[in-house]
């Protein structure tokens, strides 16, 4: 399944580029913005097929952003002082800002797609579409708050306690992404769609696995 390849690529890139990301975060934010710009231009300019396919998989489908968010969240399941946590914790904020920028293309494209249906009247929308739109709007709002407060300059201007409480929103955000994916994929999966069924299985391992491991980490840390 595509997401697993994208996740593997994101893990390798994160590991290899750790030092440059920490040293030149703005360069990586600029690259993420440039990718978003390319994504928008792709609707108007005929890029080579390989470029437009990559933009479709990574940006339009939001897979690379999701892979980065998954890495950011999974850092929390490792013990304090463990190799993985010690290595990745210093670039956690930078990774979430890059993921945030890369998710904007996906969110804008699909939010715009809902506009004609909303203008036609929400009473004509099915329960599942209305539910999907509500989840999408909450995700959008959560990402806006989490994204803006991830920037070091915003963090410095806030009380640490308030900032920490806001960052706790990452948990409902991540769980809502799972709900979002299920809303998108379950109808096709239940109708026998093989690709959708595989996607549901893979995403379920990633998200349910995270919830179990994060709860385990919380219990173990309390015991110390
Ligand atoms: C305003 C917020 C959002 C809207 C309106 C939205 C809308 C959609 C829609 C309509 C689809 C189905 C696309 C299709 O079938 O081709 C979709 C798929 C997807 N969304 Fe979102 N989304 C939003 C936020 C997010 C966020 C925050 C993430 C994760 C970071 C995300 C990750 C994905 C992924 C990975 C898929 C592809 C699922 C698959 O086919 O395997 N979305 N989204």
Tokens coding 136: 């999408």
Radius of gyration of the chain (CA): 18
For ligand 1, pick from 137, 184, 205, 206 the residue to mutate: most ligand atoms within 8 Å of CB: 184
Tokens coding 98: 């890059």
Task: Give the pLDDT confidence score for residue 17 in this predicted structure.
Answer: 98
What's the whole-model pTM score?
0.94
CA 166 to ligand 1 center in whole angstroms: 23
CA 110 to ligand 1: nearest atom: 5
CA 136 to ligand 1 center in whole angstroms: 8
- Name the residue at shortest CA distance from atom 15 of ligand 1: 184
Higher per-residue pLDDT: 13 or 122: 13
Q: State how many domains the chain has.
A: 1
Average pLDDT score over the chain: 95
Q: For the residues 183-198, what does the mean pLDDT come to?
A: 96
Q: For the residues 173-201, what does the mean pLDDT come to?
A: 96
Task: Give the pLDDT confidence score for residue 224 in this predicted structure.
Answer: 59
How do residues 85-106 score in pLDDT, each as one tens digit? 999 999 999 999 999 999 999 9
- Name the residue at shortest CA distance from atom 37 of ligand 1: 61
Range of the domain at 151: 2-223
Task: Give the pLDDT confidence score for residue 192 in this predicted structure.
Answer: 95
Task: Give the pLDDT confidence score for residue 101 in this predicted structure.
Answer: 96
Q: For the residues 138-160, what does the mean pLDDT come to?
A: 93
Confidence of residue 122 (pLDDT cuts 50, 70, 90): confident
Contacts of 197 (CB under 8 A, 6+ apart): 189
- Encode 52-74: b = buried (16+ Cβ within 10 Å), e = exposed: bebbebbbeebbbbbbbbbbbbb
Ligand 1 pocket by Cβ (under 6 Å): 61-63, 65-66, 69, 103, 106-107, 110-111, 136, 139-140, 143, 177, 180-181, 184, 199
């Amino acid at each position: 399944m595509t997401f697993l390849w994208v996740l593997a690529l994101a893990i390798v890139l994160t590991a290899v580029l750790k030092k440059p990301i920490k040293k030149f975060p703005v360069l990586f934010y600029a690259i993420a913005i440039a990718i978003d710009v390319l994504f928008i231009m792709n609707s108007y300019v005929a890029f080579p097929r390989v470029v437009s396919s990559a933009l479709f998989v990574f940006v339009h489908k939001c897979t690379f952003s999701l892979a980065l968010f998954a890495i950011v969240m999974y850092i929390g399941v490792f013990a304090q002082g463990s190799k993985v946590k010690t290595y990745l914790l210093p670039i956690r904020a930078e990774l979430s800002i890059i993921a945030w920028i890369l998710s904007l293309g996906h969110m804008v494209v699909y939010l715009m797609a809902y506009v004609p249906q909303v203008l036609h009247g929400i009473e004509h929308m099915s329960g599942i579409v209305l539910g999907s739109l509500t989840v999408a709007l909450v995700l959008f709002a959560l990402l806006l708050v989490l994204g803006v407060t991830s920037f070091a300059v915003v963090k410095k201007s806030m009380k640490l306690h308030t900032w920490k409480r806001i960052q706790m929103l990452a948990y409902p955000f991540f769980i809502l992404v799972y709900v979002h994916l299920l809303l998108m994929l379950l109808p096709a999966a239940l109708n026998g769609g093989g690709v959708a069924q595989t996607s549901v299985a893979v995403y379920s391992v990633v998200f349910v696995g995270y919830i179990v491991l994060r709860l385990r980490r919380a219990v173990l840390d309390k015991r110390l």
